[in-house]
Amino acid sequence: HQVHSREFEELYTRYEREGKARESIPAQELWTRIVEAQIETGTPYLLFKDACNAKSNQQNLGTIQSSNLCTEIIEYTAPDEIAVCNLASIALPRFVNEGAFDHQKLFEVTGQIVRNLDRVIDENYYPLEEARRSNLRHRPIGIGVQGLADLFHRLRLPFDSAEAALLNREVFETLYFAAVTASNALAVEKGAYSTFAGSPLSQGKFQFDLWGVKPSARWDWETLRQKVMKEGVRNSLLTTLMPTASTSQILGNNECMEPYTSNLYTRRVLSGEFIVCNRQLIRDLTELGLYSEDVKEQMVLANGSIQEIDGIPAEIKELYKTVWEIKQKALIDQAAERAPFICQSQSLNLFLENPTIAKVSSMHFYTWKKGLKTGIYYLRTKAAAQAIKFTVDESRRKQFCKVGEPCLTCSS
């Protein structure tokens, strides 16, 4: 576990030849067991150790042996160091301005978040000295996003469209450029992190260089490269994509970079259970004069899908496809497109309505070939029956969250 890539292969094959294995199992049988477990339970998570190490700015510290629980934090640990993640997420829908995405505003907000998270490192309470030592030496942070699907909805871009794929890449290029720029400015003020020397960034290698990818011409990367090599950066790691399963509810956004799993779902809180609709979809249907009790019940029966509801325009159906109606290849391709600007990793959930060993295996090999660090967080599958379907009549008496802002009871 202390080596990776070619060195791992050489040691593994040598130990095979020397007969050091205490027990053996056919590789295909082991793989089948892993995939079967994922189909049954959604886990285990899958990461690619070689990619995690080859594309890490902490590779000069030693071999990275694991991730955090959510598979997006890829940091070095040692017997005397416990890795720490200092995280914040940005609500992407807030950056829509007059029908376009405001890259300059994202640049400014990201810069402020870098400063805030760097301050957290200094002001934090550390229950263990090993955690304090690691955080102060390497000063890693992780800036992610929430509401990518909501951003696409506001800009009228179907999730699996070419336009959405391009914006996805552009957003994360801006995020990464802004984060490196701010961290470089902090290094000028306060000094580079103590283990900067020998890192890829100290050699002028950005995350996209480790991927062999060229950025767009939107930002001046070459000037920044020279500044980083000369002045350093304050933080060893900067960007990541955490799940935001809880925090996205506060601002009413969809989780992280995922499509909507449904346009209608139930939520349970202390005051009871209620049904939540995709507000942007309801707003669009209302403006078209198409939203009614009948449409609402058809959505319930279709598990939140609108694809088979008569009278809804094709462009609306295309815009509001759920994750079950989008090819998972599109999700993986988007993950790979933004990955050169994510210096940690991504909590990448994948969704299969009727998973098989062949389908799941094919998906895993595709994420590996695309060079992703995280192959999969959870494998999501559909339940045989949806409880919400059995409340269609009762749902007429339930209060729906409609066009307005969410109520306080919803807490979303």
Does the annotation count 68 as an active-site position?
yes
Which letter does DSSP use for residue 131 in this model? H
Write down the catalytic residue from 52, 57, 70, 86: 70
394 annotated active-site: no
349 counts as catalytic: no
- In one letter, which amino acid is 87? L
Which is catalytic among the residues 52, 72, 184, 263?
A: 72
First to last CA, the chain: 42
Give the residue from 128, 84, 66 showing the smallest Cα distance to 235: 84
Give the whole-angstrom CA distance, residue 22 versus residue 26: 14
Indicate the burial class of 377 (C-beta count within 10 angstroms; 0-12, 13-18, 19 or more): buried
Of the residues 52, 53, 57, 68, which is catalytic?
68
Query: 292 is written with which tokens?
Result: 């009614």
Bridge partners for 351 per DSSP: 380
Q: Which amino acid is located at 64 in the chain? A: I
**Contact status, residue 106 vs residue 90, Cβ threshold 8 Å:** yes
Q: Are strands 46-47 and 374-376 parallel, antiparallel or unpaired?
A: antiparallel
d(CA 187, CA 174): 20
How far apart, in whole angstroms, are the C-alpha atoms of residue 70 and residue 311?
A: 41
Exposed/middle/buried for 132, CB within 10 Å: 0-12, 13-18, 19+? middle
Residue positions annotated with a catalytic role: 68, 70, 72
